[in-house]
Every structure is written in C-alpha cells, then in structure tokens.
C-alpha cells in the first residue's frame, strides 16, 4: 500500500489529482511517493518532503524522467530508492533540440521566470520565443529583467515591452544579487508552487536562485564585457527548496531555443495578432503585404517579422522528413532562378 504524508508532500508540489493518480498506480504494492530533484543518467535525486535521497531508475524509465516529475519508489536493501513508476505530469516545459526531438526541461511547473539581462542580452525577439515556449507548455510566464542596477534605461525597456507584448505578462526589473528580489517575487513563492528559471548564460539565473534560496547554493560567474555572454555555471537542471515554500528549478543557459509551437502557442505569445486578424480584409490573409491587412497596420513591424519566423518554424516541425526534403529542393530551385535573373 502506498505510504505518503499529503501535507508534507503538498509543500513540494503534490496536488490532489497527482495523488489520485499515484494511488491508482500503486494498488496494493508497498511503495513510496517522491519528487525528482535532479537526474544524472541512471541516477536520480529524490525528495520525499523531508529530505533528498539517492535513487536509481528502473530500466524502462531511463531517459524518460525530468526534474519535477513525481515517481513511485521502493527502497532496496541499501536504502537506495528505485523509481518504478512515473506519474503523468500535468504539464512539461520542453524545447526541440537540434535533431528535432523534444527535450524536456522540467515537469509539473506553475511559473516560468523568463530572465533577460538589461545589457547586451536584451532581445525582445528572443523573449517572444520564450513566451511561446511557456504558452506551449501551459506555464504562466513572469518576465524578469535582470541587471537593472547597470542600466539607466530600465524604465524605457519596460515601457517598450509593455507596448509590444500581447498578452502582457508581469514584467519586473531587478538586480538579481539584491535581497529585494525575494519581496518582488513573493506572489509566486508560495508553498507548493514550482518555478523554473529560463534564460541565456550570464543573465543572473543562479544569482537570483541564491537570493531566493537565502544561501549560495548555485555557482555564479561573470559575463563577458564584449557581448554580455556568460559561461554555463549551471550545467544541469536541479530542484531546490526555497524558505518561502516554493520549489525552484534552475536550468543551464540556452542560447538557441526552438519551442514546439502550434497555433495555440502562437496565439498565446502573439494574442494581438490573433485578435487583429479577424478584422483583415481577406479571410485567408497572410499578414505579409496584403491590402486591407489589419495586422500590418496595428502591429510593430519587427514583432510581425518575428511572428512569421516562428510560424515558419512551427510548420517545419510538423512536416515529415520527406516534406522537408521537398521544401529544400523547391528553395534551391527558387534561389538558382533568382541568381540567374
């Protein structure tokens, strides 16, 4: 029979629906419930609400578990917990890697802190991509503009994003090394809440984690002055417990990000375009120079170009290998014709 203390486990993110699933999977087996806090191939760190325990993964689940997953375990003779069953997560934050396969960042996430530096890292286009990733995963986004102490135009940057982004997420300009960050983020730090930090290397994710944790848990490093890029001080995803009750998942910096965006995800990141498209002159308007296009008239040109780029990527991800090969052939023919002209 499943052993569990709901109050203790709810403090690290267990919900009644997840518990109901666990009880159905466990049946009469003598199992325990734990949350995955780190993954290293066949080894995992498991948290039972009291502390972290060493764990191993059953062969059938190797390569399938992500930080934030809930698993059913059985301790062996050496007190190593064997993860035998994985609960179906209520959401997963994932991107598409260079091979076109999904790569899961974290499971069962409530809020994504999208961290972008107010230095050379500042890039609204990349932020829109991150917002699409959050929308595709069903995760609530919060934009954190770090290094506000180093930028005299912080308020202007906030105003720019407020004018550009639709739907508009919460936007905070913070100094990731200042303890005031905790007060600003308190609405998302409640007990049982799970946050994930996403952003490029060197934007201050680990510094922000340390402030929220109240201890120097994560190694930090300086960004290069030439391009504001940093080294990967965080090399793997890990789930950490915050004194305010939330669980924080810190992730390695990502410079290239391809979000598995469908129509719903694009609408979640570009809600203004979906709304204005209903007022275009033509029902099948592509918002690319057609007469009477309400989108072109009402949306920032750079934002519209980014929308088209992400939409093309979304179509490419849905294509079969044969369709992608055919498309490459067509582009080669068009490019050759253009050169001859």
- Write the pLDDT tens digit of every residue in 110-162: 999 999 999 889 999 999 989 988 988 899 999 999 999 989 999 999 999 99
Q: Which domain holds residue 82?
A: 6-86
**pLDDT tens-digit readout, 305-337:** 999 988 887 776 665 666 667 767 776 787 777
Asked if 124 and 235 sit in the same domain, the reply is yes
pLDDT of residue 226 exceeding 50, the answer is no
Of 65, 86, 107, which marks where a domain is finished? 86
Listed in order, strand segments (DSSP E) in 58-175 are 70-75, 81-86, 92-96, 102-107, 111-117, 140-146, 171-173
Among residues 121, 178, 195, which one has the least CA distance to residue 151? 121
162-185 tens-digit pLDDT: 999 999 999 999 998 888 899 999
In terms of domains, do 111 and 216 share one? Answer: yes
| Alpha-helix residue ranges (DSSP H) falling in the chain | 6-10, 16-26, 124-137, 154-164, 180-185, 205-213, 263-269, 271-276, 294-298, 301-318, 321-340
- Residue 261: inside a domain: no
| Matching residue, tokens 């102490």 | 149
- In the predicted model, is pLDDT for residue 108 greater than 80? yes
Least confident of 26-30, 31-35, 210-214, 240-244: 26-30
167 cis-preceded (ω within 30 degrees of 0): yes
Strand partners, 163: none
How far is it, in rounded angstroms, from Cα 334 to Cα 316?
18
Same domain, 59 and 20: yes
Domain edge (last residue) among 188, 219, 250:
250
pTM attached to this predicted model: 0.83
If you search the block for the tokens 């179509």, which residue do you land on? 315
Residue 244's pLDDT band (cuts 50, 70, 90)? confident
Assess whether 230 and 138 both reside in one domain: yes
219 and 288 in a single domain? The answer is: no
Question: Taking a C-beta distance cutoff of 8 angstroms, is the pair 19, 72 a contact?
Answer: no
Is residue 190, in this structure, part of any structural domain at all? Answer: yes
Domain shared by 229 and 97, yes or no: yes
* Mean local confidence (pLDDT), 47-76: 88
Residue 259 counted as domain residue: no
Q: How many structural domains is the chain composed of?
A: 3
């Amino acid at each position: 029979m499943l052993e569990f203390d709901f109050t203790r486990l709810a403090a690290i993110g267990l919900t009644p629906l997840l518990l109901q699933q666990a009880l159905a999977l466990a049946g009469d087996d003598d199992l325990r419930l734990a949350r995955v806090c780190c993954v290293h191939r066949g080894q995992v760190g498991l948290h039972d609400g009291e502390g972290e325990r060493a764990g191993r993964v059953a062969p059938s689940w190797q390569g399938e578990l992500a930080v934030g997953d809930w698993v059913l375990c059985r301790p062996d003779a050496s007190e190593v917990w064997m993860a035998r069953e994985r609960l179906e997560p209520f959401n997963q934050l994932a991107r598409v890697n260079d091979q076109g396969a999904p790569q899961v960042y974290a499971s069962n996430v409530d809020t994504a802190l999208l961290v972008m530096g107010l230095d050379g890292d500042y890039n609204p286009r990349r932020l829109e991509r991150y917002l699409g990733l959050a929308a595709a995963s069903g995760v609530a986004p919060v934009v954190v503009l770090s290094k506000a102490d180093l930028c005299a135009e912080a308020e202007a940057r906030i105003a720019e994003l407020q004018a550009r982004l639709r739907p508009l997420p919460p936007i905070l300009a913070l100094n990731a090394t200042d303890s005031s960050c905790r007060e600003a983020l308190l609405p998302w730090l409640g007990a049982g809440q799970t946050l994930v930090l996403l952003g490029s290397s060197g934007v201050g994710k680990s510094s922000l984690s340390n402030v929220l944790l109240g201890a120097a848990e994560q190694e930090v490093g300086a960004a290069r002055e030439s391009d504001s890029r940093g080294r990967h001080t965080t090399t793997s995803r890990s789930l950490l417990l915050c004194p305010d009750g939330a669980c924080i998942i810190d992730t390695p910096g990502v410079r290239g990000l391809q979000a598995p965006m469908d129509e719903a995800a694009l609408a979640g990141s570009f809600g203004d375009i979906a709304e204005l498209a209903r007022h275009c002159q033509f029902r099948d308007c592509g918002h690319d120079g057609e007469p009477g296009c309400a989108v072109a008239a009402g949306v920032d040109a750079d934002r519209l170009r980014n929308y088209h780029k992400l939409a093309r990527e979304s179509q490419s991800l849905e294509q079969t290998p044969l369709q992608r090969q055919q498309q490459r052939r067509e582009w080669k023919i068009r490019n050759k014709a253009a050169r001859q002209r």
